[in-house]
Structure 1
Amino acid sequence: MKNERKCELFQQYPQLKEIANKGTVLWENTNWMENPETRLFTMAEVEDAENTLQRFSSYLKVAFPELVESDGLIESTIQEIPAMKKALEQKYGVSIPGHLLLKCDHALPISGSIKARGGIYEVLKHAERLAMASGRLKVEDDYALLATEAFQSFFQQYTIAVGSTGNLGLSIGIMGKKLGFNVVVHMSSDAKEWKKALLREKGATVIEYEADYSVAVEQGRQEAEQDPMCHFIDDENSKDLFAGYAVAAKRLKDQLEKTNITIHEEQPLFVYLPCGVGGGPGGVAYGLREIFGEHVHIFFAEPVASPCMTIGLMTGLHDAISVEDIGLDNKTEADGLAVGRASKFVGKVMETYISGCYTVSDQELFTSLGLAMDSEALFLEPSANAGMFGAIRLLQKDSSYFEKHNLVSHLSQATHLVWATGGSMVPATMRAAYLAKSRELD
């Protein structure tokens, strides 16, 4: 981007200059609508994803015995984190009204992150499509058949490829190899070594790049296009991924109701989602707004070095602007969020769906990591801590969000939900290193 154009954008969007200087900002979405409409996606696709996952439940129980107790359901719990709430309040000098809950996607079965939903769903849907087209599977069959050697041999003819900073690659690699597919994961320079090692251990082929996420995805996409037996899972554009993530929203509604939390005008829900390219948080946000309407307020959280969704939504340029265009280096310890250019598909859907975005520094992520361990004996990888700062940003910054949306009188009844996107699979040595760093920065 030419300097003249950059200067024009800085003048048009004053917060953009603060973002370019790695400031921690809260951007409020003025295009937010009480009744958003999109023709890019429908809840029917979410219903289809939920039904597909249900058909696969018998297979999943055979392939992953840890899912027997949940009857083949890949889902995480919610829990209140009062000690963390108190620790955050003391550390940042705020009082968070209402309840602070954690959506425990860091502990999702199979691959230990939010990607276990969308990523695994797309692999399963692709497997179903191939098996049905070959005449080997019918919708009324018991899908436990897919665990047999005959299906393993069948899927070995095919390849699944993906570009990833880490967690999506893990979910694709683990699920794809379990079914029998060849799996190729194109990993960006930000991907952690332990994630690459685990993928190789599972039998996936890992191709490493010195460049960032966007290059890994584009290279993976180009290579897959040359192979008719290869299916590329496109984190930037896949509606299947998006649908798989959105299923979480329907399940969350049931979970909240089981804990006697009903969302309505006097009991609003605030949700804080770490965001990389946008697929995971976008799918969740879509489902939540469709279910709870104007009573849910959703904020995406991004590192100060990689706020691609923030700048894409702020300017309306989406994937036509990158963090490098405004002088940022896209270097962050939050590897799952180290994305320089947001998904155009997700950005367009989110234009009227989310309430805003905010940025967090790496130091804040490690501070939260230490606080979560000390207060709740809870380990989250750095990127998963980004959601902890949502309520703080709304309370600390010169924000009139609560007033604008007539929420002030309802805040004592509010539920703040932090979406914990990953962490349970981090090796013990890496956990120790992260915790040590949190102590150093404290």
Structure 2
Amino acid sequence: MTKGKQEVDHLEARWPLITAMKGGQEVTWLNEQKSMSTEDQLPIQLEEIEDAEARLRRFAPFLGAVFPETRDSAGVIESPLLEIGRMKAFLEAYHQEKIEGQLYMKADHLLPVAGSVKARGGMYEVLKHAEQLAIENGLLSTEEDYSKLASKEMRKFFSRYSLAVGSTGNLGLSIGMTGAALGFQTTVHMSIDAKEWKKRRLRERGVQVIEYADDYSRAVEEGRTLSAQTKNSFFIDDEHSRELFLGYSTAALRLKEQFQERGLLVDKDHPLIVYLPCGVGGAPGGIFAGLKRVFGEHVYSFFAEPVQAPCMLLGLMTGLHDRIAVQDAGIHLATEADGLAVGRASSFVGRAVANDLDGVFTISDDQLFTYLGQMAKLEGEYLEPSALAGVEGPFRAKRSGWLERHLTDEQRANAVNLVWSTGGSLVPQEEMAAMIRKGEQLFSQ
């Protein structure tokens, strides 16, 4: 429930940045807690990430068997690392500022099957659950060829079990597609922000979609409740799941290989600065934790949120995490960036990154569409609005004063700025064309 005016005024008095946020302004918040604490709160260790990666490798034969789009990669779900030089030149001209260092994009909008960053965590948790059930019932060992999981007998076995998740869209796609491929009875509880084409795609795969005329938190709450009342049902909880977090973290090991292939270094003299779109926090939190474990202390990161859905910024800044929603601060939850349309951040993720994250910034929907249009025109990459949230990161880091305070001239010149994309490759052509037109119109105004 939205707080009354008196309570909102109290929040503004204590955290003045809320006034600008409530007014719809783009803001940048720097995490002072990072400089005040040396405590490591990241909830996963490198060994766990390596174990998760090994599990995904075991499942590669199965994924190659049920998803034809993964056969060229032998069932490995991975996205390319792209240097986006033309977009860099555009951004520098558009902002009339130079980006110090190189600019790359980790193109998770091209991840096969689910077409978004959610493929990593969502698919991982479903696969781990399936592996556990099969092993417990004497139907699988880790030494076997996992392509056997695509058999009619295994599908019949998994059909005795149910999966459920609450989603704004992309996580639902990831879990729905994977659950259906295994044979699970799968239900996705979709918030009002979810796009129709995502619901349609799930239904075409035999997934039950339950729609809500409310936001993400309600879809998760209802999904959790109904799953608890259903026999043999497993609810994948985007707000609290450690397994989702681990699945997302495996991106760091893959990125390390891609950096080595390109001769890119990450060390004191060559820092890595990552800009991650953020909704409830699971995907960016897991990726960031993985990067810190794999690359070490010379990784820095900012989360990026829509102006009208800054739940992680609000939770971190106030220290209230999931005990405060954007509506409590007088902010109306409304954004075209459906994957980021979340009003209340994950308490698990907020507390996990509180001592390590460098900051959070917000960006308007108009800017997201402007960058969407230019990314398609200049780089030939077709992204959802939410996937453009991090693009402005290098300028926010510089204008906020963070860059000069934390990195020397030489470090800034040698830095790799990495923008992380989320979804886009599965968007229907007509919808993508409409979004590109909107972006071009906004740019020409």
TM bucket (normalised to shorter chain) is over 0.9
Counterpart of 1:128, as a letter, is: E
Secondary structure of the residue aligned to 1:37 is: coil
Counterpart of 1:19, as a letter, is: M
Whether 1:47 and 2:63 are equivalent positions in the alignment is no
Secondary structure of the residue aligned to 2:413 is: helix
The residue number in structure 1 matching 2:244 is 241
Please show how residues 205-284 of structure 1 align to structure 2 within 5 Å.
205-284=208-287
The residue number in structure 2 matching 1:357 is 360
The residue number in structure 2 matching 1:87 is 90
1:23 to 25, 28, 32: 25
Tell me, in whole angstroms, the C-alpha distance in 2 between the residues paired with 1:36 and 1:361: 34
Tell me, in whole angstroms, the C-alpha distance in 2 between the residues paired with 1:245 and 1:369: 24
Q: What's the CA shift for 1:158?
A: 0.9
Q: What's the CA shift for 1:133?
A: 1.2
The residue number in structure 2 matching 1:418 is 419
Tell me how large the CA RMSD over aligned residues is. 1.3
1:120 to 102, 119, 123: 123
The residue number in structure 1 matching 2:381 is 378
Tell me, in whole angstroms, the C-alpha distance in 1 between the residues paired with 2:34 and 2:323: 21
After TM superposition, the structure 1 stretch with the greater mean CA deviation from structure 2, 383-392 or 3-12, is: 3-12
Secondary structure of the residue aligned to 1:426 is: coil
Counterpart of 2:421, as a letter, is: A
Tell me, in whole angstroms, the C-alpha distance in 1 between the residues paired with 2:412 and 2:297: 15
* Contact 1:113 1:421 (8 Å CA) reproduced: yes
Q: What's the CA shift for 1:36?
A: 4.9
Tell me, in whole angstroms, the C-alpha distance in 2 between the residues paired with 1:375 and 1:143: 41
- TM (normalized to structure 1)? 0.97
Counterpart of 1:32, as a letter, is: K
Tell me, in whole angstroms, the C-alpha distance in 1 between the residues paired with 2:397 and 2:49: 31
What fraction of aligned residue pairs are identical, expressed as a percent? 49
Q: What's the CA shift for 1:329?
A: 1.4
Tell me, in whole angstroms, the C-alpha distance in 2 between the residues paired with 1:366 and 1:411: 28
Q: What's the CA shift for 1:43?
A: 3.1
Structure 1 unaligned segments of length 5 or more: list them.
none
Tell me, in whole angstroms, the C-alpha distance in 2 between the residues paired with 1:212 and 1:119: 20
The residue number in structure 2 matching 1:8 is 10
* Contact 1:285 1:353 (8 Å CA) reproduced: no
Q: What's the CA shift for 1:339?
A: 0.2
Structure 1's 407 and 330: CA in aligned 2 closer, same or farther, altered over 3 A? farther
After TM superposition, the structure 1 stretch with the greater mean CA deviation from structure 2, 170-179 or 370-379, is: 370-379
Q: What's the CA shift for 1:224?
A: 0.4
Counterpart of 1:438, as a letter, is: G
Whether 1:427 and 2:424 are equivalent positions in the alignment is no
Residue deviations 1:323-362 (CA, integer Å, cap 9, x gap) = 0001111110000000000000000001012111000000
Tell me, in whole angstroms, the C-alpha distance in 1 between the residues paired with 2:225 and 2:437: 41
After TM superposition, the structure 1 stretch with the greater mean CA deviation from structure 2, 347-356 or 38-47, is: 38-47
Tell me, in whole angstroms, the C-alpha distance in 2 between the residues paired with 1:407 and 1:14: 30
Tell me, in whole angstroms, the C-alpha distance in 2 between the residues paired with 1:331 and 1:71: 40
Tell me, in whole angstroms, the C-alpha distance in 2 between the residues paired with 1:142 and 1:430: 40
The residue number in structure 1 matching 2:335 is 332
Counterpart of 1:3, as a letter, is: K
* Contact 2:121 2:244 (8 Å CA) reproduced: yes
Residue deviations 1:51-91 (CA, integer Å, cap 9, x gap) = 21111112112112332322221111101000000011111
Counterpart of 1:24, as a letter, is: E
* Contact 1:35 1:294 (8 Å CA) reproduced: no
Residue deviations 1:218-272 (CA, integer Å, cap 9, x gap) = 0000000111311001000000100000000111112112111111111111101
Q: What's the CA shift for 1:172?
A: 0.6
The residue number in structure 2 matching 1:286 is 289
Q: What's the CA shift for 1:6?
A: 2.6
Structure 1's 9 and 23: CA in aligned 2 closer, same or farther, altered over 3 A? same
Residue deviations 1:350-381 (CA, integer Å, cap 9, x gap) = 10121110000000001101111121122111
Tell me, in whole angstroms, the C-alpha distance in 2 between the residues paired with 1:86 and 1:388: 13
Tell me, in whole angstroms, the C-alpha distance in 2 between the residues paired with 1:39 and 1:263: 20
Whether 1:402 and 2:403 are equivalent positions in the alignment is yes
Secondary structure of the residue aligned to 1:58 is: helix
After TM superposition, the structure 1 stretch with the greater mean CA deviation from structure 2, 367-376 or 287-296, is: 287-296
Q: What's the CA shift for 1:294?
A: 2.7
* Contact 1:269 1:416 (8 Å CA) reproduced: yes
Counterpart of 2:257, as a letter, is: D
* Contact 2:41 2:353 (8 Å CA) reproduced: no
After TM superposition, the structure 1 stretch with the greater mean CA deviation from structure 2, 23-32 or 278-287, is: 23-32
Tell me, in whole angstroms, the C-alpha distance in 2 between the residues paired with 1:354 and 1:254: 24
Tell me, in whole angstroms, the C-alpha distance in 2 between the residues paired with 1:44 and 1:293: 14
Structure 2 unaligned segments of length 5 or more: list them.
none
* Contact 1:274 1:386 (8 Å CA) reproduced: yes
The residue number in structure 2 matching 1:170 is 173
Q: What's the CA shift for 1:2?
A: 4.0
Counterpart of 1:93, as a letter, is: Q
Tell me, in whole angstroms, the C-alpha distance in 2 between the residues paired with 1:337 and 1:366: 14
* Contact 1:35 1:293 (8 Å CA) reproduced: no
- TM (normalized to structure 2)? 0.96
1:160 to 154, 159, 163: 163
Secondary structure of the residue aligned to 1:31 is: helix
Q: What's the CA shift for 1:10?
A: 1.5
Q: What's the CA shift for 1:421?
A: 0.7
Q: What's the CA shift for 1:47?
A: 2.3
1:57 to 60, 64, 73: 60
* Contact 2:42 2:289 (8 Å CA) reproduced: no
Tell me, in whole angstroms, the C-alpha distance in 1 between the residues paired with 2:304 and 2:17: 16
Counterpart of 2:106, as a letter, is: K
